[in-house]
Structure 1
Amino acid sequence: MAYDVQQLLDMSQQQLDDLFRASPAGDIPNGEAEGTAIIAPGTRYTESIAKIINFFGWQGKVFDAEKGVLKNKVTPFGVEAIVAKVGKGESWLDGKECIVLDYSATSLVAHWIRDEIRLISPDFYLGKVYWGKERLIDFCLKF
């Protein structure tokens, strides 16, 4: 099944977790991805929150698969900042392979953040954000 952003925004947390668990890690992506934060999944606020975050805070990520790094696109101007190391690793959600976006050694601002992504459709990834070991929010990336 091919997914789109709206379908993910309409899902509950359980549905998002089930989709993540059922999806392969996929290849480490390369290039620019449009990002959408998924906060308060399954509520009527999810879409509004996503739009606000997308405009003011975070628009997505730019991956360099060859170098194994990414930069986040932040601020209303899409400034590329906040670097992470990218590689395959074990998911904290289910112990299976995922793509880990690790900020611990690359960012003073986000050194306690770890993202995990898996491929859910061609050029479309679902992600989990952890703060320390605490699960924070979900997001998606469309290439």
Structure 2
Amino acid sequence: MAYDVAQLLAMNQTQLDDLFRESPAGDIPNGSAKGTAIIAPGTRYSESIADIINHFGWQGKVFDAEKGVLKNKVLAFGFEAIIARVYKDTSWLDGKECIVLDYSETSLVAHWIRDEIRLIGPGFYLGKVYWGKSRLIDFCLQF
């Protein structure tokens, strides 16, 4: 099944977790991706929150697969900052392979953050954000 952002925003947390568990890691992506934060999944607030975050906080990520790094596109003008190492490893959610976006050694601002992504469609990834070992939110990336 092909998914879009609206469908993900309408899903509840259990549905998002199940989709992540069912999906392969996929290849480490390369290039620029539009990001959407998924907060309060499955509620009427999810889309409004995502719009606000996209306009003022976080717009997505730019991957360099060859170097195994990424930069986040932040602030209203898409400034590229907050670097992460990118590699495949075991997911904290289910113990299966995922792509890890690791900020622990590359960012003073986000050193406690770890993202995990999996491929849910062509050029489309679903992600989980962890603060330490605690899950925070979900997000998606469209290439």
Instruction: Classify the TM-score, shorter chain.
Output: over 0.9
Distance 1:130 1:76 in 2: 24
Distance 1:3 1:62 in 2: 21
| Length-normalised TM-score, structure 1 | 1.00
Distance 2:7 2:96 in 1: 24
Alpha-carbon shift at residue 135 of structure 1 (Å)? 0.0
Alpha-carbon shift at residue 115 of structure 1 (Å)? 0.1
| 4+ runs deviating over 2 angstroms | none
- Partner in structure 2 of residue 113 of structure 1: 113
Alpha-carbon shift at residue 131 of structure 1 (Å)? 0.2
Q: Counterparts of 1:1-143 in structure 2 under 5 Å? A: 1-143=1-143
Q: How many residues align?
A: 143
Alpha-carbon shift at residue 74 of structure 1 (Å)? 0.1
Distance 2:9 2:116 in 1: 18
Alpha-carbon shift at residue 38 of structure 1 (Å)? 0.0
| Length-normalised TM-score, structure 2 | 1.00
Alpha-carbon shift at residue 30 of structure 1 (Å)? 0.1
Distance 1:108 1:115 in 2: 16
Alpha-carbon shift at residue 49 of structure 1 (Å)? 0.2
Alpha-carbon shift at residue 78 of structure 1 (Å)? 0.1
In angstroms, what is the RMSD of aligned CA positions? 0.2
Distance 2:112 2:126 in 1: 20
Distance 1:53 1:33 in 2: 15
Alpha-carbon shift at residue 26 of structure 1 (Å)? 0.1
Q: Percent identity?
A: 84
Distance 1:94 1:53 in 2: 28
